[in-house]
Amino acid sequence: MPDSEHPLSPPPPHGLRDWLSGRRFSLTARILLFNVIALGLLAISFFYLDNYRRQLLAERFLRARSEAEIAADALATARPSDRRAQIAAIGVRQHMRLRVYDRHGRLIADSFALAPPSFTLVDPATEPLLPRAARLLDRAMDTVLGAAEVPAYREPPVDRADAWPEVLLARQSGLTMVRQRAAPDRTPVITAATPLGRDGAILLALQNTPDITQSVRDARQTLADIVGGALLLSILLSLFLARTIVQPLRTLVRAAIRVRLGRDRAVVVPRLPDRGDEIGLLARAISDMTTALRNRIDAVERFAADVAHEIKNPLASLRSALEILEKVEDPALRRQLADIAAHDVRRLDRLVTEIADASRIDAELSRATFEPVDLAALATALVGARDARGDNRTCTVIARRHGLSPALVMGDAPRLERVFENLLDNAVSFTPGGGQIALDITRSDSRVIAEVTDEGPGIAPEARERVFERFHSLRPAEEAFGSHSGLGLAIARTIVEAHDGTLTARDRSDGRPGARLVVDLPAAVTPP
């Protein structure tokens, strides 16, 4: 058989539904994937770092605007002789670089020229490996997020007002203008241009804010640590979950395959008694199912062996009779041999009929629709029909109903009739001529009890279970050999058990000799 047609091979995938149902990937892979997807959604939160950075920049823009306007107000009210000193002091104190341009756009003051620089832009070439890696990651995040390119900060060759667009805009509008540029190490450089006094001068305040970049990187690192730890924990938990689920399932699959292949009759399907979850329930269900199947297979094999044995005897007798018949000339002996052959043929026919009936009872009852059956009415009609046919021989068979409650059961009427037919046949065969057989029907609480009592020799206690075995051979001495197949009581018990009842053999309740076969069935629930 090709692999694609193997009974245990999964069908080819046909879309998302088949993928989710596990036809393509193993359970372990799906458990891992579903957990990683959840963490992947968490990882998307990295993109919210861009919003975090924008919020920091917006706050710093407001701060830069306020600081520039405050510095401009302070310088506008200062005496001209003190203005340069104040520019230097403000630059050092606020870590800014202040430039002042006159109304003609010429640079007239620079805090970095009046005092030592309050900050220095970092040269990327002098940075160690870790900051370089962080900067590469910044670029990657900007690319993924589609962030707008920030113009690089460069000192103009000629420092005039027209080298700074924000200075020109501030002069034209009379408002404070704020811009952002990127330092060589990609940290933000924020400039704020605001009017200074009323003579057309402009103050340009510039500051480098590496703390914003560091804050974003710290937040990203913290989030990366959380996601990484959660991912590791999720993978470990997923593997543990997969092990607790997949490993016992694989054990069950291997045991089921060995049972199916039939290579080891002693293979034990694990029951996993320590597990109270669905896996444990599945294991015990498969174990019970396997045991039931083995019992059924063993029963079928025993039945087949018994059938072969039972058919072999009449076949051997028939063959012997036919072989001798060819050599015998005596008409009387030939008639005797012909009678033996005819008896064997009838015996074979009876055996084949009974065997076929016994083999299909389970299948027919599994498909049958049970309906309410009045056992008392069924028993009365059956006894009358047997009397009319002469099946009761010289025995007197009476059907009696005890009590006024209806003797209704849910079942298949023809099969229940077969039960009492077989029980009465058995009772008639063991009851002496002129004896009496009683078929009593009683409703007891939620049960309906049917008893067939005869006047035969009875059944020894040690044989009361064996009489229900197939092809049981204990028959009355005066009965003609081969008159019964030995399947009657076995068939009757099979039918009764299919109706959720029991069939047992007991002594007579009055102490007299004889057997009592008791059928116990659940009563049908009648509407109030």
Q: 233 is written with which tokens?
A: 């924990």
Spatial contact of 206 and 3, defined as CB atoms under 8 Å apart: no
What is the tens place of the pLDDT at every residue in 130-180? 888 888 888 887 777 677 889 999 999 999 999 999 999 999 999 999 999
CA–CA distance, 75 with 203 (Å, rounded to integer): 9
pLDDT by position in tens, the chain (length 528): 444 444 444 444 445 444 444 445 565 666 666 666 666 666 666 666 778 888 899 999 999 999 999 999 999 988 888 899 999 999 999 999 999 999 999 999 999 999 999 999 998 888 888 888 888 888 887 777 677 889 999 999 999 999 999 999 999 999 999 999 999 988 999 999 999 988 899 999 999 999 988 888 888 788 778 777 777 877 777 777 777 777 888 888 888 887 777 655 667 778 888 777 777 788 888 888 888 777 777 777 777 776 676 677 778 877 887 888 778 888 888 888 888 888 778 777 777 777 777 667 766 777 788 999 999 999 999 999 999 989 888 999 999 999 878 899 999 999 999 999 999 998 998 899 889 999 999 998 889 999 999 999 988 889 888 888 877 665 554 444 445 557 788 889 989 998 999 999 999 988 889 999 999 999 998 655
Cβ atoms 446, 409 nearer than 8 A: no
Residue 38: which residues within 8 A CB-CB, separation 6 or more? Answer: 234
Give one DSSP letter per residue of 62-126, joined into a string: HHHHHHHHHHHHHHHHS-HHHHHHHHHHHHHHHT-EEEEE-TTSBEEEEHHHHS--S--PPPGGG
Q: How far apart are CA 63 and CA 52, in angstroms?
A: 17
Q: Where in the chain is the domain with CATH 1.10.287.130?
A: 268-367
CATH class label, 368-522: alpha beta
- ∠ at Cα 420 (385, 394), nearest 5°? 55
Instruction: Give the strand pairing for 371-374 and 408-411.
Output: antiparallel
Cβ-count burial 383-422 (b if 16+ within 10 Å, e if not): beebeeeebbeebebebebeeeebbbbbbbbebbbbbbbb
User: pTM, whole model, 2 decimals?
Assistant: 0.48
Burial class (CB in 10 A: 0-12, 13-18, 19+), 41: exposed
> Residue 451's beta-bridge partner residues?
440, 518
Distance of CA 367 to the CA centre of its chain: 30
Cα(305)–Cα(299) distance, rounded to whole angstroms? 10
Residue range(s) of every CATH 3.30.450 domain in the chain: 75-210
Mean pLDDT for all residues in the chain: 82
C-alpha–C-alpha distance, residues 229 and 408, integer Å: 69
Q: Coil, strand or helix: which one is 171? A: helix
Say which CATH topology domain 75-210 has. Answer: Beta-Lactamase (3.30.450)
**C-alpha count within 13 angstroms, C-beta hemisphere, residue 290:** 24
**Residue the block writes with tokens 């959604």:** 41
Residue keyed to tokens 């050092």: 92
Give the span between the Cα atoms of 307 and 298, in whole angstroms: 14
User: Other CB atoms closer than 10 Å to residue 154's CB: what's the count?
Assistant: 9
Q: Where in the chain is the domain with CATH 3.30.565.10?
A: 368-522
What is the per-residue burial (b if ≥16 Cβ within 10 Å, else e) of 477-487?
eeeeebebbbb
Rounded-to-integer distance, Cα 468 and Cα 505, Å: 9
Domain at 268-367: CATH code:
1.10.287.130
Residue 503, strand partner residues: 519
Q: Tell me, what's the pLDDT at 27?
A: 57
Tell me how crowded residue 448 is: count the other CB atoms within 10 A of its CB. 25
At 201-214, the pLDDT tens digits run 999 999 999 998 88
